[in-house]
Structure 1
Amino acid sequence: MNKDAAHAGQAAYTPFTLPLYDRLVLGASCRWLWRCPSERILDHYQKQVSSNHLDVGVGSGYFLDHVAFRSDRPRLVLMDMNANSLAFCSRRIARYSPKLLQSNVLEPIDFDGARFDSLGMNFLLHCLPGDMHGKARALDHLKPLLNPGARVFGATLLHGGVERNLPARGLMHLYNRRGIFSNREDSLMALERELQGRFDAVEIHVQGCAALFAARVKD
């Protein structure tokens, strides 16, 4: 695995860009380019998240900040390769006292805590290097951290098997050239294949060029 490529996918998250993320990415890009408004992703998140939750690839922490947990004191662990994202997100949801784990999900994860009932992976997969089969190593590394029956969910931007308008194709091409995205080989069929090979009750809903997925860890 090319560690430089893995770092490139998260290098855009800096102390300067993170305060702009909600407005530029979750606001403008999601609505007008990817054609999947952040409200739709939040609704998907709300339906799947538990009060014993692991969030991987946390970004700005927007969804954790806006979701309504079923408990006043949820157990939250934030996992990301980027220390900037971890710090920004943890400050934003400090009311929940989240635990932080800096880790590369494409490598074995050193974690010996209690297992989780849900795993969120919003806008992570399209930033990981390689094809969908290679990216799915992240799922193999994360599964041991989950309880039987746990929900695995998230959203990712696809290149194949979805409709992309002209601006979306242009920006996606630019992001792939810069290494921010690595999704030229990501298709709806490939995503479905990797999820079904590992989990039960796989559901994928496409909106624009985004795939909102959910699955259940086998008992």
Structure 2
Amino acid sequence: MPTRFQTADVTSTTAKARDGPQEVVYKSWDLLIYEIWVLGIVSTWAWGCGTDAYLLPQFRANVGKKHHLDIGSGTGYYLRRGGIPAATQLTLVDLERPALEIGLHRSGRAGDARGIVADILQPLPVEDDTKFDSVSMYYLLHCISASVDAKCGIFAHIKHNMTPDGVIHGANVLGKGVRRDNLFAKHIRHMVLRDGIFHNEDDNAYEFEHALRQNFEEVETAVVGSVFMFRAARPKY
């Protein structure tokens, strides 16, 4: 079955997105380097939160068995290694189609997964009866160019796309209220902020946790190094 794509009208806060999706072709070697550098070295030694030690186990423990939604899949790392059951229907969301295609292809589920091009700051353009029993968003929020309030607003609308016992889980690098950066982290943080990769100067655990508790009955959070990890279940409709 060919991959199913759905495109929504989106308004981006970045010039790149306003100009339309960029047709970027990544080689497998580039993606391997990205995973080793960002998810391996930087996550562990700059942010103090090892992917294999913390992030991947959380992902594996919370993947739904019926319909899983992954937001901002990147290289598809978690989709490949996250133990998603073969019977689970998979939906990916990204602002740009080229990035979405990478996630779908590298997830190993390009033949039966669905891709949605949409702005996650807005309600998802899906049918009212489309409900996910699990939603994941890893290393996404710190890349969104928006206020903390706008980022927290994601939880308020995504819950309407979840089953009554659905679980949302993820992690993001914080900008406030974390341990003092070591020299390596200070250098990396300066670079990603300067280059417009991170937009997280005001991101903090308190506001994210507060938003989760406003929208979900069960909330578990932890700050590991400079990373906010979260799991929330049973949406408050």
- Is this a same-fold pair by TM over 0.5? yes
Shift of 1:59: 0.6
Match for residue 38 of structure 1 among 45, 51, 69:
51
2:220 corresponds to 1:203: yes
Which residue is equivalent to 2:25? 15
Cα deviation digits, residues 13-67 of structure 1 (max 9, x gap): 9433544321111111111111111112000101111122000011111011011
How far is the alpha carbon of 1:12 from its aligned partner? Answer: 10
Aligned residue for 1:154?
170
Gaps of 5+ in 1: none
**Does 1:170 find its partner at 2:182?**
no
Structure 1, 171-180 or 182-191: larger mean CA deviation: 171-180
**Could you give the per-residue CA deviations for residues 124-149 of structure 1, whole angstroms, max 9, x where no partner exists?**
11111233212122223322211112
Cα deviation, residue 6, structure 1: 8.5
Q: Which moved more, 1:149-158 or 1:91-100?
A: 91-100
Contact 1:153 1:213 in 2 (8 A): yes
Letter in 2 for 1:140: A
Aligned partner of 2:80 in structure 1 is 65
Q: How does 1:4-153 map to 2 (within 5 A)?
A: 4=14, 7=17, 14-16=24-26, 17-39=30-52, 40-51=54-65, 52-69=67-84, 71-95=85-109, 97-112=112-127, 114-153=130-169
Could you state the TM-score of these two structures normalised by the residue count of structure 2? 0.82
Partner of 2:209: 192
Give the paired residue count. Answer: 216
Question: C-alpha separation between the residues in 2 aligned to 1:192 and 1:143?
Answer: 15
Partners of 1:132 and 1:194 within 8 A in 2: no
Residue matched to 2:13:
3
User: By how many angstroms is 1:91 displaced?
Assistant: 1.2
Gapped regions of structure 2 (runs ≥ 5): 1-10
Name the counterpart of 2:236.
218
Q: 1:142 to 1:14 in 2, by over 3 A?
A: farther
The letter of the residue matching 2:140 is L
**2:48, 2:225 within 8 Å by CA — same for their partners in 1?**
yes
Residue identity opposite 2:13 in structure 1: K
Give the percent of matched residue pairs that are identical in Structure 1 and Structure 2.
30
Larger radius of gyration: 2
1:5, CA displacement in angstroms? 6.6
Shift of 1:201: 1.4
Compute the displacement of 1:161 (Å): 1.7
Segment drifting more, 163-172 vs 147-156: 163-172
Q: Hey, which bits of structure 1, 4+ residues long, moved more than 6 A?
A: none
Matched position secondary structure for 2:14: helix
Q: Does the 8 Å CA contact 2:13/2:146 hold for their aligned counterparts?
A: no
Taking the aligned partners of 1:14 and 1:213, their CA distance within structure 2 comes to 31
Structure 1 stretch displaced more, 128-137 or 91-100: 91-100
Q: In the TM superposition, what is the alpha-carbon distance from 1:192 to its structure 2 partner?
A: 1.3
